[in-house]
Amino acid sequence: MATCTIYYSASFAAWQAPVATLLNGTAHQLVWQALDSLSEAPVSAIVLQHEQDLYRRDIPLLASRSVLLLSDEWSFDEATQWLKAGVKDSMALSDSQRIAAWIAAELARAEFSFVTQQAAQTMLQNVIDAIPVPIFYKDEHHVYRGCNQAFSEFIGLPLEKIVDHSVYDVAPKELAHVYYRADAMLLAEGGVQIYEAACQTPQGIRDIEFNKAVFYKSNGEKGGQVGVMLDVTERNLLMQKVERASRTDPLTGIGNRREFEQCVDAVLSHAKQSSQAASLLTLDIDHFKKINDAFGHSSGDEALKFLVNTVQDALPAEATLYRMGGEEFYVLLPNTDLASAKGVAEQIRAYIPTQPLILKGQIVRLTVSIGAIQLASQRQLEESFKRVDKALYEAKHSGRNRVCLAYYD
């Protein structure tokens, strides 16, 4: 005699004995198990669940268990809504004979369907297992009804831990929320869905591109969805490297003009919201052409890298340095007014000559000319650039190795 466990929620406890008596003549030995939450019942188990014992967190699990939803006052409209949520059937709590008949029918149906479906399932499984990328399909209640070996290996779970389970059974809760919302949107809208999301695997978190589509039953109703997973982790890492490279000066390793343009917008937006000032320094190596002429362009490159390291040593923590081209550099100073910017500029100007640069065995003392301006607004950026460049030009033509300030009219 086969043994089968029947799970039931607290409100059914008073009715368990009469129903068990009615089922004494079946070909199954029944074990009755009380539960506090639907998550305590294994997948595909028969569950007698009273609606007042059902938690909101259990609703996504309804379709992955064989649930008979019980209510004190049964109505057709409410029963229809529960069927849409994934329960197998809905009855009145007091209708012991119907409940017993439903349990007997479920036990018989499970035995019959196991034999007839096994052959068809074996053929389908062999076909999809031959496909080397992860594939899965779910029914309209978001329950996995099948997957291939590649999917099983990718997420690190055997087939029996996936099929007939909900996404909350196979994925961490925070990721399951993402998948469930995407599934619900796809089933509501129909068609095709492509998106990227993280996936927990035995090798750690991977970036996955999901390609999913709705499939339909013979009657035209939505039957569920089928999906293919593409691991795009390496592609994304490469794209990130390319993006970083496009914003980085290859010689010195600091941000380039593109990076500066993005950062200055963010700094000005923050300055506007916080009512703080922001300033800009532009600096240029004095007599840089003489270094190239005397020591060669490779030594000129060494001088530029030396300057970057030296300036960064002298900068406050929030400041950032950018190479705009040639020997011209910008220093972006968040939360800094013009008076404070002048102080930073003077500190840089005074510090650089104290650090010896050795080129081809000779000590070279670099100096820089600096222009400084307090930035006004994003709309006036071009005007700010013109004025600070003019201040730099003034510093160079009034003797070099000095700081000049730029003002607005």
Could you name the CATH architecture of 131-236?
2-Layer Sandwich (3.30)
Specify the CATH class of 249-405 in words: alpha beta
Question: Would you kindly state where each structural domain of the chain is located, as residue ranges?
Answer: 2-111, 131-236, 249-405
3-state secondary structure of 147: strand
What tokens appear for 363 in the block? Answer: 């000590």
Specify the CATH class of 2-111 in words: alpha beta
Nearest-angstrom CA–CA distance, 2 and 252: 75
Where does 289-359 show beta strands of DSSP type E?
320-325, 328-334, 357-359
Q: Is-same-fold flag (2-111; 249-405)?
A: no
Contact by Cβ (8 Å): 329, 322: yes
Active site residue 243: no
Per-residue burial over 112-151, b if 16 or more Cβ lie within 10 Å, else e, is: eeeeeeeeeeeeebeebbeeeebbbbbbbbbbbbbbbbbb
**Going residue by residue through the chain (409 aa), what tens digit of pLDDT does each one get?**
578 899 999 999 999 999 999 998 777 789 999 999 999 999 889 999 999 999 999 999 999 999 999 999 999 999 999 999 999 999 999 999 999 999 998 888 877 665 566 666 778 788 889 999 999 999 999 999 999 999 999 999 999 999 999 999 999 999 999 999 999 999 999 999 999 999 999 999 999 999 999 999 888 899 999 999 999 999 999 999 998 889 999 999 999 999 999 999 999 988 888 888 999 999 999 999 988 888 888 998 999 999 999 999 999 999 999 999 888 999 999 999 999 999 999 999 999 999 989 998 899 899 999 999 999 887 888 999 999 999 999 999 999 999 999 998 7
Among 140, 259, 302, 327, the active-site one is 327
